[in-house]
Structure 1
């Protein structure tokens, strides 16, 4: 099947990062599905993709597949859902979660090197939307990745980003203190006590760059904040 060729698009990725997220796949799955506010956020992100029956949607960094059933519900049995992630153990959970759907394809690949349009054309597919939740902060060049995703979708399609960054609400200081601790603990290697630059500031910069690039590439934009202002959701229809 031509879709299987997409799995070959695996780039070089830091082995420590893969081991870290692979080791904590079970805990990550619980957090992704049951943290208060996160399931509603995931539904909102899927809605922002503006999918219709028969559409094709690609999720970059699908993790354990928490979004995939919701995306499949929106495209229906005639549509196609492609979930891409680089970490084997989390993908196994995603495959188990979507095994009953024959139009959901979970592939191991690098989100910074998305499937090529000609490969999708061979499979008879045009990409209508790309979704990336809690992914761009892990990328070396998040704005460049957003450009690639926009190019993959093309004019009239949608790209949706949802990411956690420091809150800007009036009661933000205690929230941001907790957020910083979570970021440090979830940044491999977690044994480091000191960093040359604070991980949460580096994360903020990456997320700002990615969301700004999406706004620059879009003609219709939805910008929202969720969960005490910590999560930013940007959806764009491309020009």
Structure 2
């Protein structure tokens, strides 16, 4: 789904809650470790170019900049204005970190841009065709690395999984615009799980695994792949 085709309520929702989203993105226990692991899975070297699709308020950008160094390039892409303003404020001190408004499925990048790695965290669940987006991202990167991190139900069977999944479902319902809806035609959590499975499965098909991890009580899946 292109940016112009997405419901305006989605932009309004994420824009309205940008401050709360930023707080959750930075202060949730364990999330800093997750973001550091995601950056590490990109296998970046000083001087590399890395693109983050759906960069949100920019929580991953400092970790990516640390990995590529001052001689590298970091490009963050998101479609929500108020969210991007927070990202720009966060990285204003770096002249090699660029935040761009655009669609993750049609990124505003120069076709000649040499991209060494691509990171997408908590974004494929919002796409109509997540597997197709992963294909496009892999084609863009060529022989580099693609890393996905997304939240889905814990399917590991741990004793705490039922309680974690119940809390996760409540969060999904509250964060699925419009939030005033009490009933859905289908289970939004199951719909999200299917999208995450499709995206991560496609990345495994297209790459050699360099990371296959679970974080935050098994709710967050981190998959990193080196493309052939």
Q: Is TM more than 0.5 here? A: yes
Q: Does 1:167 align with 2:167?
A: no
- Deviation at 1:112? 1.0
Q: Does 1:145 align with 2:130?
A: no
Contact 1:166 1:230 in 2 (8 A): yes
Number of aligned positions between the proteins: 225
2:104 corresponds to which residue? 111
Contact 2:15 2:83 in 1 (8 A): yes
Deviations, residues 151-194 of structure 1 (Å, cap 9, x unaligned): 10002x00000000000232211110000000000000000000
> CA-atom RMSD, angstroms?
1.2
Which residue, 56, 60, 73 being the options, matches 1:67? Answer: 60
TM-score normalized by the length of structure 1: 0.91
Looking at structure 2, the residues matched to 226 and 43 of structure 1 have their Cα atoms a distance apart, in angstroms, of 12
Q: Which runs of 4+ in 1 moved over 6 A?
A: none
Looking at structure 1, the residues matched to 192 and 153 of structure 2 have their Cα atoms a distance apart, in angstroms, of 9
2:200 corresponds to which residue? 211
Which residue, 106, 131, 135 being the options, matches 2:123? Answer: 135
Contact 1:114 1:148 in 2 (8 A): no
Q: Does 1:223 align with 2:212?
A: yes
Deviations, residues 48-78 of structure 1 (Å, cap 9, x unaligned): 0000000000000000000001101110111
Q: Does 1:202 align with 2:195?
A: no
Contact 1:61 1:84 in 2 (8 A): yes
DSSP-derived class of the 1:190 partner:
coil
Unaligned runs of 5+ in 1: 1-8
TM-score normalized by the length of structure 2: 0.96
